[in-house]
Structure formats: structure tokens, C-alpha cells
Amino acid sequence: MALRCGGSWLLSGFRRVVGTSLYAQRLNFIPVRMSSSGPGDEVEEFDLIVIGGGSGGLACAKEAAQLGAKVVVLDYVKPTPLGTKWGIGGTCVNVGCIPKKLMHQAALLGEAIDDARHFGWNVPEKQVITHDWAKLVGAVQDHIKSVNWVTRVELRDKKVKYVNGSGFFQDKNIVAACLNSGQVKCFKGNKIVIAVGGRPRYPDIPGAVEYGITSDDLFSLSSPPCKTMVVGAGYIGLECAGFLNGLGYEATVMIRSVPLRGFDQEMARMVCEEMQERGVKFLHTTVPEKVVKNEDGRLTVHWRNVKDSTTGCDVYDTVLFATGRRATTQDLNLDKVGVKYDKESGKIYTENEETTASDIFAIGDVIQDKPELTPVAIHAGRLLAHRLYSGGSECMDYTNVATTVFTPLEYGTVGMSEETAMQKCGEDNVEVYHAYYKPTEFFVPQRDPSRCFVKVVCERCEPQKILGMHFLGPNAGEVIQGFAAAMKCGLTYKALKNTVGIHPTVAEEFTRIRVTKRSGLDPKPQSCCS
């Protein structure tokens, strides 16, 4: 796909031209049945077969092997329409959390350069500071490859067999793997764990597959994305738009309904307002209708407003679809072995990671109604291995799992949103404490702190057990992690207000929070030492 940025022609990589329906088949991983092992071929037997080499599958496999099980991991990455592939490790390592956080950090460093002038660093005022996209991508990909290598070494050291093949059930205990050579190898397992994760969805509109990209492609683009349309306002869409804007590329976010669905909506609104103030554009209540490639190689996106049916269009260099993900289960032959799953999302129904078929389990993003988070998959995988091979009884607790949205002003959260708490407990039974604050590091450069905000949602009756905590500001992930542990221990508002904060930090703002929404008082920032 050719991109033009600043008047120059840029080649972002080779894309095979495929039809939408053909790629839909590839994306949904409908298997191609090739010649399998013959009657005389050996079928290797294992205690545990893990289908999928992402964070959860690898954690389960390594833990099981440490406990004495004979384990094989089957993993294969089908290329995106752009041809993007990656190594073992799953979404998080290759096209998710890790490259996202590195690019987010790159954008934050751009802000820090300007701040540095105010702190006495002699950064030339008139010098134009530019960013080198290719150098960033190179550094990010070098790190990813090093992690891929370490992962392979760890599997070898722990005596876990790794097969680079796309696995699917031939029978309840037999899993076949399609190899690159076209050969199909079969493995017999006493227990089988499905950990295939998910892949981004493309909307069913003309030009989406042919000309669009997803987060699976973004982190390895050889040329800068330049003016970018991001379709979707979940955490992936907002994070990508945020760091692209921070790196100097014009970004527009298209939102069908609400941003950050499932998150606290007051916090979501503030996240978007902050992004807009920093230069990100938003198209609200809007959906794409088609993507057209122009003669100059750029892309025209046509859209429609879902409220008033008005239409519009604009020209972009890159169109990034962040419109949700689908579990990659359609090629597994789940119906054949009695594993029930949601036909729309592809996600598997489980209870304590057990599927509806005996001795077949599922973990991670592939299971229905559970958080799609790497640490969740890892923890669930390890606990499952102990239940299977060391007599363990502990099951994964999916409540009060913390997470952070790495937008320009980060949003960390654990527990219930305000809306969920009100719905489950009733408005009269919920107390909401809130406060604005100004980080100390914002004072010297006089950065705008107007959306640095904390919120604590708790029961109204004593001792006011805390139901949810929300933090908007610098280092949100680091802040919310400790409070997540406290909430696991039954944190109350009384305990929180009796906790002595570390001064001056942004995390201490949780310990200083006193104003309730019910009081109607202004939650303005307190003075530095009050």
C-alpha cells in the first residue's frame, strides 16, 4: 500500500490483494484439510496438549511441565491481509501490550522534551524536534524478537515440545497440526487446553480488508502511518490514536456509540476530552460505510451519522480498524468434540476453565465473559496446571481485576464503575468520593491538570467497603496496582482515609479524598500539604 506523507511517497509494505470473503475465511481460521498422518504414522502421546502459544497457553504449559507433565504447545500465526506475521508469544508480546506501551512511552518522551526546557535543560527553542518512525519500529521489533527467542529457550529448558503448526481437533483426544510444509501431524493428549486468543475484526464494508489495517499491523509498519483514521473507541483505538497523535501524526477517532464501553463513563468522557484538547479529532455517532483507494494511493473514508443519517468523507493515509476482536476458534472443530461456544464471538463457555467436554479446558481471551487481559490468562493458566497436576484446588478469581488504558493521560481502574455499582446496589446504597488534583511535576512547566481526577465508589453504610477505584493521571498503571491488592483484601473507605500517603506522589491523592458527589461540594484540588 502506498502512502503519501508531507508530499513524499512512502511504501508501507506489500499487501496481497484478496477478496473480502476470502480473507474473512482466513481471519476466522476455517481450516484447510490436508493429507494427515497415515495409519502407520506414529501419533505422539502427551499428558497435556496446549493449542495456542500466547501468554496464557505458555504459562499453563510451562507450569504443567515443571510439575512433571509431558507437554506440547501448538502455535501458528496466520498472516494479516497486509502479510504481517510474528513469532511465538501471542498478542501481548508481539502486537499488543508490549509494543503499545513502548510507543506510548515514545509519545510521552516527546512531551517531556518540552517540559525539560522549564526544568532548566537547554533544549534549543527554535530547533524543530522530529520523530523517526522507522527507528522506533526497529527498536520495538528488536525487543519483540528478543522476547520470542527467550520464550523458545524457556520452552526448551522446561522440556516443553513446541510445534509451529495450526492445531484442530480430529477427535476428543487427538489434535492435528497443519505445518507449513503441508504435512499434518497428530498428537494424543490426556488433557487439552485451548488458548488460541483472538484477532481483530474487520467491519463488513467495501474496502475494509483490502485497504485497512489493524493493531496486528501497526507496530511493524515500515513507513509512518501519517494522517490516520482510527475506527473504534475501545481501549485499543484510543491508545493507538493517542500515541500516534503524540508522535506527531494527525489522528481522528470514529465512535459509533460510547467510548471505552464497559469502563466508568465519567472517566471515559474525560479521557476523550483530554485527547481532543491535545489534538485528536473525534467523529461521534458515526460509522464507516466504505474505504476507497484514490489514484494517488491515499484512502477516502466515507461515513454516516447513525443519529441523523448525514454523510461525510475525508482522505487519510492509513485507516486503522479497532472495532473489536473475535476468538479464533472456528477452525478447531469444537462442535465435533462437544465444546459449546458462542457462534458470534467464537468464545467458549466455561466454568472454572472447564469446557462442556471432559478433559478439554480453555483459558485467556478465548473464554466467554471474562477480562481479555494478559495477566488474567497467565494466572488462570498456572492455577489450572496446579489443579491438573499437583492436586491444587484454587480457581481463578475474576473479580476486581485492575487494568490501565494507556491514553496520553492514563486511566487506571479496579472494581466496579459508578454506573455498575448504582445498578447492582441502588443509588441510595452507594457513596462516590471524587477529587481533582495537580501533580507536582505539572507545576514548573504549568501543564494543564484539569482532568487529573480520582474517584472511589463504595458502599454507603459503614465500614464503606470499596467497590471500585478510578484514577486519571500520570503513571496510572503503577498507582492502581497497589490499590488492586488492597481491594482483594476487602479495602474500606475507613482504612483508605486512615492510610498515610507518600508525599508528594499522585498515588497519595486516593488517601486525601474526602468530598462526596452527594454533598454537592466542589471537588477542586487541595493545596499541596492539606
Do the beta carbons of residue 228 and residue 317 sit within 8 Å?
Answer: yes
The predicted-structure confidence for 215-261, as pLDDT tens digits, reads as follows 999 999 999 999 999 999 999 999 999 999 999 999 999 999 999 99
* Topology match between the domains 2-25+201-323 and 44-200+326-389: yes
- pTM higher than 0.85, yes or no? yes
pLDDT of residue 530: 62
pLDDT at residue 166 is higher than 70: yes
Q: Domain spans of the chain?
A: 2-25+201-323, 44-200+326-389, 409-512
Can you give the pLDDT at residue 20? 38
CA distance 91 to 196: 10
Query: What class does CATH assign to 2-25+201-323?
Result: alpha beta
Domain spanning 409-512: which superfamily?
FAD/NAD-linked reductase, C-terminal dimerisation domain (3.30.390.30)
The architecture that CATH gives domain 44-200+326-389 is 3-Layer(bba) Sandwich (3.50)
pLDDT for position 467: 98
- pLDDT at residue 180, rounded to an integer: 86
- Percent of the chain having pLDDT more than 90? 88
Residues 118, 284, 434, 503: which is the catalytic one?
503
Bridge-based pairing of strands 430-436 and 299-305 is unpaired
Give the confidence band of 41 by pLDDT, cuts at 50, 70, 90: low
Per the annotation, the verdict on 470 as an active-site residue is: no
CA distances from 302 to 205, 227, 311, 511 (A): 10, 15, 7, 48
Helix, strand, or coil here: 92? helix
**Confidence at residue 528, expressed as pLDDT on a 0 to 100 scale:** 67
Between CA 509 and CA 498 the distance in angstroms is 13
